[in-house]
Every structure is written in structure tokens, then in C-alpha cells.
Amino acid sequence: MKKRLLAMLLAGAMCASLAACGGNSSGGSTEEPSGEAGGEGYSIDVILKTTASEYWGYVEAGAEAYMADNPDVKVEVKGASSETAYDEQQNMIETDLNSGAYDAFVIAPLQADLVKTLIAGKEMPIIAVDTDIDAPEVLSFVGTSNEDAAAEGGKAAVEAAQAAGWETIEAIAISGVQGDGTATARVTGYQKGVEEAGGTFLAEEIQYADGVADKAATCMEAIMQNHPEGVAIIVCHNDDSAMAAARAAKGNEAYANTIFVGFDGIQSACNAILAGEETMSVAQEAFDMGYMAVETAVNALNGETPEEFISSGASVVTKDNAQERLDTLKGYLGE
Amino acid sequence: MTKTKKSSNLMTYAGTFGALLILCIVLTIATPNFFKYSNLMSVLKQTSFNALVSTGMLLCLITAGIDLSVGANATFCACLCGMLVQKGITENSVVLLIIAIVGGTFVGWVNGMMLTRLHLPHPFVSTLGMKNVLWGVALIVTGSQMISFSGIDGIMWLGSATVGGFPISFIVVLIIYVIMHILLTRTSLGRSIYCCGGNPEAARLSGINSANVLTFCYALSGFMAALAGIVSIGRSGICNGANANQPYDTDAIAACIIGGASFMGGKGTMIGTMLGALIIAVLRNGFALLSVSAAVQQLALGLVIIGAVLLDVTRERMEAKARRLATK
């Protein structure tokens, strides 16, 4: 009896998954002729780094909002299962480029150089979003450079540290995955911002926490060990790291006024900033990024030549504007 | 016979303990900040998570199995709590704690049932599948968002509270290790676990219900993963489903293997595993203090694992040779 029930369950699951696959592929093939036939009814393929994170959820929401505003354009959003699933994204891009089902592509590359090889010689409009792809096939890059955004954060952090009464302003970075383009760009930006504003960036003491909270806590414990006197600014790869670092330093008097800078400005970061657990967060306008990237792709299909770089803007979230941002973000996800 | 066995056991620890000691001495010389009370306490805090998941991993390794879902299970349990907080269902720490532990243990039990009742070939496959399932579920229940536990101090107590600087999480780890050590060495269940791994056919013939023993091991592994998940909440104050793909499982395997466990089953002790977990934590801590690049960290950790296994294999071959000579 048990076995029979199990067999039925399994068979049911298989049927369901087969049906789902079938549905997708037939949808794709019917899309193709309509896309090529008229000027209207474009089909845009949006391949993001991942869809499994809040930040990318906003890019996705932005891209889909364009579809809601322009019902004749069909937007399909997909992404790898994590920001380190390089192979997965490679396969995805390869499959979609060769499927002939899409008129234009919006790509946020996990590894820009790899994507450059994949798109070589393709004639459909290709737009890079979030992270630039240095290739002649790419018409436009929509985003903020991580470096510029981080530099804004670095400057704001130095100002905040001065306001908090720090005399020697030193900054240490808890970076993401070593060798990752985004992680490097953010650290470079932080360094630039901190130094421009008159602080000292301890480049020798960069820690790598892979953007993961518990590793960031470990790094923070080491920093406190090396600097019992306190450090004015801790700049982090993302909000997860910043919140964990701030938590690890909780209760250490020397770090009571330390400025913890995160990156992404997601909802929980806004809450943490309001609660005084993270000091500030550098936020890229992910929703606008998604929307503008699809818009640019459609304009290109309509024969316009887009600008090479379209800035989607960045801001620094502090206690003053966190509530406002939180409400906006909730609106994007329809909560 | 028992005498030689005991002395060889001591030898196992001597090697691993020596390695840990040398590592500590080197780090003490390399950086003045290593051998300080506060830093040593940090090391213990950093050990807790891995030590907990390693407990479950060790049991599975002893039975010649493996549990690759431990890290994902820990993340899943943390996210389960996160979901309840996010959706505003409950902020009662006791309820969250119970749900995490029940959830984690259930996942472990399912792993065990897949192996023993559904007869999936090797737990490598089923627990790898489970890892992906949990990763997905962790993202789904949290809506792919990072969730903060700020203000819910009860659930964070285990991972963050200290007694005179000594982390509570490590006290719990010590208690668990003592209990597990007694279970493995002094009870019939413990002997059954070793027997199932060392010689499954002999276990069956001697009337051991290996299906139940194996299910117990995997369920316990799930329980330990849940505890680790709760510790991680306390340490970082957040949960994030995306962390489920972190190599927590390989860290746990490394701790067990450094501590003398074997993929062939039937081997491994709690003391050895603790030493293994400490070696990994001390290495990571030292690297962080010295701001060593991530590339070098990976390289060094890899070499330590290879070295530990090599040491183990060499010692075994020498023992076998000694036995052969003795019988001649």
C-alpha cells in the first residue's frame, strides 16, 4: 500500500514536471513568429545573475513592470541559482542566444569576459545591465558602476565618522569573494571615496567573507583583535556582511561609534539602519535598472541608437531616508 | 589486543593534537593578537557551528555513509525561523527554537528513510538531492530575502551569549560531545553504529536492526544541523537562504577526516572530530588575523586535509605491517 501510494506520487510529480516543460517550450515557439513578423510584439530575454536574492528581485520587478506598461512587449526574466553559479548562467545564455525565440537580450553577466565570447558575432541588440560587458556587440550598459556607488558610500562614511567624533579616520573593508569583479569594484570604490574625503583606507587589511554573514562575523572578530583601540569605518561587500559585522562588534566599547557601511540597501538593511544596527548602506536603484534596460532594448529594436552608458542612479541610505526607501521597496514587490 | 588498540587510539590523537599545538605556536609567533583570551574565545565561537554539524557528519561517516545536506539543513532551519518572524506569525523564541529543531530533525529523518526504506543506493546521492531541495525551500520560504532577527534576543541567545567571555554555544558543544562520546563508546547503540559501518553483513547476522540504526544517525545529523542553524542566527543576527550553498558540508567532512574518520566507515571519534574542527577554526582565525588572501587560505586548508589523510593512511599501513610481522 505504502509503495503504491509512493509510486503514484512519483508518477504524478513526473507528469506535472513534463507538462510544465512542454508548456514552456510551446509558448516559446509560438512567440517566435509574432516577434519577427511585426515591429510590435517584441520578445525580450532578460538573463540576470540570479533571481534568488532580494536585490535581483527588484531588477526582475523593474523588467516586468515594463511589460505591464507595454503589453505588446514580452519580457522573460531568468537567472542562475546563485551569484557563483557561473556554468549555469553560461548554459542559459548559450541556449537562449541560439534558440531564436528572442528579439533582444538584456544580460547581467556573472563573468563578463565569458559572456563576451558567447555573444561574439551576434546581431540581435544586447544590453548589459548592472555589470558592463566590454564587447562591440553590446549596445549599451545600464547601471551604476559599483565603483562609483561605493565611492559615494566611502565619502558619506568619512563624513559620518567625523560627525561621530572620530579623530583618526581609518577604514577596513570586509569584501566578498576574492577575485570576483563586483567585489573588487566595490572595494576600489570604497578606497577612492574614503581617501578623497580625507580618511585612511587600510588596504593591507582587507578581509574576504564571500558576502556571507557568519564569515563576516569571523572577520570582524579578527579586526577587533588587531585593533583593540577601535576602527572608525568598516565598509562591507553587502548588507548581510555589514549587519553581521555590526552584531559581532556589539558590546565592544571601542566600536560603539564605528560606522558600518553595507551595500544594496535592501529592506532588512533599511530596518537595521532604522534600529541603529547598521549605519548606512549604498543602494543601487535596481528597479529602475531593470526597467531602463528593457526600455533601452526595445528602443534599439525600434532603430534608435542608445547611449553607451545609461546611469540608473545610486544613493546612500541613512537613518534619515531609510523609512522612505523601505516603503518604496515594499511597493515594488507588491507587499 | 585491547592494549595495542588503546595505544594506537592515543597515537591518533597525539598526531592531530600535535598538529593543532604546532599551528597555535606558529600563530602565536606570527601575530601577537592570536594568543589572547578574547581571541581564543573568538576561535571557540567560530568552532561551534562546524563542531555541531560535524557531530552528525561523523555518525554518518562511521556508518560508511555521508550527509551532504547538513549545511543546507542548518540554513533551512534558520530560514524557517526567519519566515515565521518575517510573516509576523510568531516572535516567541521557544516556539521558533522548537520549530527549527523539529524541522531539522525531520529533514534528517527523511534522509535516513530514503536510505533505509526507499533503498536509494548511497546517501551521497540522496543527501546531495536533499541539499538542493533545502536550498530551494530556504529561498522560497524567505522570498529570497535576507531576514534580520533584531529584537528577538531569545533565539539569538545560544549563538551570542557568553559567560565571562566564554561562549555558551561552545559549552553546549562540549556537553553534546561528552554525551555523544559516551553514546558511541559505552552503549550498545554506539557499538551498533560502528558495526553497521565496519561490517554491515556481520551487523545483520548479529541481529542489529541496521535500518533503524542508520535512520537514527541521519535524524541525529538533522538535529545537530538545526542546532547549528540556531547558533548561526545568534552569531550573525540574520538568515539568508542564499547561504545554503556555502561549503559547510565539506568543512564538516574535513573536520571528521582530520580527526581520523574514514569514508570506508567504522572509524572516527568525537575527540578526533573536535580536534579537527578546532584545527580548521584556528587556521581560519589565524588567516583572518594576518589578513591572508583567500587564495592562500584555500590552499593551506587543502594541504592540511590531504596531510591528515596521508598521515592516517600511513599509520594504518604501518600498523598492518606490524601485525603481519607479529603473526609470523
Inter-chain touch A248–B46, beta carbons under 8 Å: no
- What are the domain boundaries of chain A? 33-144+286-304, 146-284
Select the more confidently predicted residue: B269 or A40.
Answer: B269
Inter-chain touch B145–A271, beta carbons under 8 Å: no
Q: Is B205 on the interface with A (CB under 8 A)?
A: no
Grid coordinates standing for B126? 540522496
How far, in Å, CA of B269 to CA of B193, rounded?
A: 12
Closest CA of chain B from A214, distance in Å: 5
State the amino acid at position B57 in one-letter form: M
pLDDT for res B3: 45
Grid coordinates standing for B86? 518575517
A173: Cα within 13 Å, side-chain hemisphere:
32
What is the number of CB-based contacts under 8 A between chain A and chain B?
A: 118
pLDDT for res A114: 83
Residue of chain B nearest A241, judged by CA positions: B236
Inter-chain touch A243–B148, beta carbons under 8 Å: yes
pLDDT for res A181: 79
**Between A81, A217, A224, which is nearest B235 by CB?**
A217
Residues in chain B: 328
pLDDT for res A22: 39
Confidence bin at B1 (pLDDT 50/70/90): very low
What DSSP assignment string belongs to B196-261?
A: HHH-HHHHHHTT--HHHHHHHHHHHHHHHHHHHHHHHHHHHSEE-GGGGGSTHHHHHHHHHHHTT-
Could you identify the residue written with the cell 507587499?
A335
Q: Which of A247, A270, A278 to mutate to test the interface with B (most CBs of B within 10 A)?
A: A247
pLDDT for res B182: 96
- Contacts with B, A 21-60, CB within 8 Å: 50-54, 56-57
Inter-chain touch B246–A212, beta carbons under 8 Å: yes
Give me the percent of chain B exceeding a pLDDT of 90. 55
State the amino acid at position B303 in one-letter form: L
Q: What's the pTM?
A: 0.78
Closest CA of chain B from A63, distance in Å: 18
Domains detected in chain B: 39-323 (1.10.3470)
Mean pLDDT of B111-119: 93
How far, in Å, CA of B146 to CA of B79, rounded?
A: 9
How far, in Å, CA of A62 to CA of B301, rounded?
A: 42
Q: Is A260 on the interface with B (CB under 8 A)?
A: no
B314 alpha-carbon distance from chain centroid: 25
State the amino acid at position B277 in one-letter form: A
**Between A52, A218, A243, which is nearest B237 by CB?**
A243
pLDDT for res B229: 95
Q: Is B48 on the interface with A (CB under 8 A)?
A: no
Q: Is the pLDDT of residue B6 over 70?
A: no
Inter-chain touch B288–A207, beta carbons under 8 Å: yes
> Cα separations (Å) of B16 from A43, A157, B263, B273?
61, 45, 18, 10
> Cα separations (Å) of A234 from A153, A166, A224, A281?
11, 13, 11, 12
Grid coordinates standing for B224? 545537530
Q: Which of A225, A229, A326, A335 to mutate to test the interface with B (most CBs of B within 10 A)?
A: A225
Grid coordinates standing for B1? 589486543
How far, in Å, CA of B112 to CA of B63, rounded?
A: 12
Topology annotation, domain A33-144+286-304: Rossmann fold (3.40.50)
Least confident of A129-133, B13-17, B94-98, B118-122: B13-17
Closest CA of chain A from B295, distance in Å: 8
- Contacts with B, A 115-144, CB within 8 Å: none
Grid coordinates standing for B231? 547558533
**Between B33, B46, B235, which is nearest A226 by CB?**
B33
Provide φ and ψ at A53, rounded to 5°: -160, 155
Contacts of B145 in chain A (CB under 8 A): 54, 57, 266-268
**SS3 label, residue B91:** coil
Contacts of B245 in chain A (CB under 8 A): 81-82, 84
Overall CATH class of domain A146-284? alpha beta
Inter-chain touch A54–B144, beta carbons under 8 Å: yes
How far, in Å, CA of B273 to CA of B136, rounded?
A: 30
How far, in Å, CA of B221 to CA of B253, rounded?
A: 13
Confidence bin at B217 (pLDDT 50/70/90): very high
Tell me whether residue B79 is exposed, middle or buried, using C-beta atoms within 10 angstroms of its C-beta: 0 to 12, 13 to 18, 19 or more: buried
ipTM: 0.76
Which contacts (CB < 8 Å, 24+ apart) does range B6-10 have? B8/B315, B8/B319, B9/B269
Q: Is B284 on the interface with A (CB under 8 A)?
A: yes
Residue of chain B nearest A223, judged by CA positions: B289
How far, in Å, CA of B264 to CA of A298, rounded?
A: 59
pLDDT for res A8: 58
Inter-chain touch B293–A205, beta carbons under 8 Å: no
Q: Is A101 on the interface with B (CB under 8 A)?
A: no
pLDDT for res A25: 37
CB A277 within 8 A of CB A255: no
Four-CA torsion A288, A292, A293, A295, nearest 10 degrees: 150
User: Same CATH fold, A146-284 and A33-144+286-304?
Assistant: yes
Give the tens place of pLDDT for each residue, B42-82: 899 989 999 999 999 999 999 999 999 999 999 999 999 99
Grid coordinates standing for A3? 509503495
Q: Is B162 on the interface with A (CB under 8 A)?
A: no
- CA pseudo-torsion sign A297, A300, A302, A305: positive
**Between B42, B238, B245, which is nearest A240 by CB?**
B238
Q: Is the pLDDT of residue B28 over 80?
A: yes
Residue of chain B nearest A84, judged by CA positions: B245
Inter-chain touch A82–B242, beta carbons under 8 Å: yes
Residues of chain A short of pLDDT 70, as ranges, are 1-40, 335
State the amino acid at position B241 in one-letter form: G
